[in-house]
Amino acid sequence: MAQRLRVRYAKRGRLRFTSHRDISRAVERAVRRADVPVAFSAGFSPHPRISYVGAAAPTGVASEAEYLEIGVTRECDPDRFRAALDASLPHGLDVLDVVEAGAGSLADRLECSAWEIRLPEADPTLARVAVERFITTERVEVERLTKKGPRRFDAREAVLSLEVIEGTETTAGQASSQPCVILRMVVRHATPAVRPDDVLTGLRLVADFAPPVPPEVTRLAQGPLDVRTGKPADPFDLDRDSTRGGETEPVGQYVGGDL
């Protein structure tokens, strides 16, 4: 393996209905079509060295910030790699950013996610009341069906911020732009993961607030929590710093150039 590349990709539009397994098959095939020199594991049944970092956005949830790492057998230019993989993937699975992996684990940097929840036809006043009540409540116990059966956990503490804004509805395929309630929130990654639907469940529990039509959810960003903004920073910042000039340097070390 000559190089490890870190990839940020988006899951958009109708392709938000792909599951994590669907995406991993699609990426494997796209890599083959693009003739990317992907490395394979050794052994009896070799697998391409592609690993998905962080918790995948659930099926039905769009995302602007999913991450994977891919090992290649010869050095690749990240920008050309990005263009080639993007062209090979179906429209709606879009490759946004590629960097050469620096030191340190990418997974460790994905501390929190920023989410957007669009609620067409929802009442903005009720939404504000519900959000206010959610924020001022210390613990909001929700139950979700996990692979191990129903599980109860607190959906409140992991929510670092939650706000209501108003925008227009942009559901794919719909020409009309109705006013629409939008929730924006930053959630710390925890175990079990608090997902946007858990927060919606919480809003229903604390204020009986229930959206009339299925919400449209998008993950906007993932990364280390930037304490100044209260939002996730770009997790690739460290890679860009440490690999400047094409050479891997110890993480955090300033390697010159004007900043």
Partner 1 sequence: MSVESLFPRLEALLPKVQKPIQYVGGELNSTVKDWDETTVRWALMYPDAYEVGLPNQGVQILYEILNEMPETLAERTYAVWPDLEALMRSEGVPQFTVDAHRPVRAFDVFGLSFSTELGYTNMLTALDLAGIPLEAADRGEDDPIVLAGGHAAFNPEPVADFLDAAVLGDGEQIAIAITEVIREWKAEGSPGGRDELLMRLAESGGVYVPKFYDVDYHADGRIQRVAPNRSGVPWRVHKHTVMDLDEWPYPKKPLVPLAETVHERFSVEIFRGCTRGCRFCQAGMITRPVRERSITTIGDMVEAGVKASGFNEVGLLSLSSADHSEIGEVAKGLADRYEGTNTSLSLPSTRVDAFNIDLANEFSRNGRRSGLTFAPEGGSERMRKVINKMVTEEDLIRTVTTAYTQGWRQVKLYFMCGLPTEEDADVLGIADLAKKVIKAGREATGSRDVRCTVSIGGFVPKPHTPFQWAAQADHETVDRRLKALKDALRGDREYGRAIGLRYHDGKPSIVEGMLSRGDRRVGKVIRAVWEGGGRFDGWSEHFSYQRWMEAAAEAGVDVDWYTTREREENEILPWDHLDAGLDREWLWQDWQDAVNDVEVEDCRWTPCYDCGVCPTMGTEIQIGPTGKKLLPLTVV
Interaction between residue 44 and partner 1 (CB under 8 A)? yes
Position among 60, 104, 192, 224 found at the interface with partner 1 (CB under 8 A): 60
Q: Which is nearer to partner 1, 216 or 234 (CB)?
A: 216
Interaction between residue 80 and partner 1 (CB under 8 A)? no
Interaction between residue 63 and partner 1 (CB under 8 A)? no
Inter-residue contact 97 to 7 (CB < 8 Å): yes
Interaction between residue 14 and partner 1 (CB under 8 A)? yes
Q: Which is nearer to partner 1, 34 or 160 (CB)?
A: 34
What whole-number distance in Å separates Cα of residue 2 and Cα of residue 72? 6
Collapse the DSSP code of 176 into the 3-class scheme (helix H, G, I; strand E, B; otherwise coil) and give the result: coil
Interaction between residue 212 and partner 1 (CB under 8 A)? no
Q: Which is nearer to partner 1, 18 or 63 (CB)?
A: 18
The candidate with the shortest Cα–Cα distance to 106, out of 195, 239, 209, is: 239
Q: Which residue pairs, CB below 8 angstroms and at least 24 apart, start in 242-250?
A: 242/102, 242/103, 243/99, 243/100, 243/101, 243/102, 246/100, 248/100, 248/102, 248/103, 249/102, 249/103, 250/103
Inter-residue contact 120 to 213 (CB < 8 Å): yes
Q: Which is nearer to partner 1, 93 or 114 (CB)?
A: 93
Position among 5, 7, 10, 30 found at the interface with partner 1 (CB under 8 A): 30
H-type alpha helices, 136-229: 196-207
Number of residues binding to partner 1, judged by CB under 8 A:
33
Buried b / exposed e over 93-113, threshold 16 CB at 10 Å, is bbbebbbbbbeeebeebbbbb
DSSP state of 234: P
Q: Which is nearer to partner 1, 125 or 170 (CB)?
A: 170
What track of x and - describes contact with partner 1 for positions 170 through 199 (by CB under 8 A)?
Answer: -xxxx-------------------------
Q: Which stretch binds partner 1 (CB under 8 A): 139-147, 169-177, 198-206, 246-254?
A: 169-177
Question: For binding to partner 1 (CB under 8 A), which residues are involved?
Answer: 14-15, 17-19, 21-22, 25-26, 28-33, 35, 40, 44-46, 48, 59-60, 88, 90-92, 171-174, 213-214
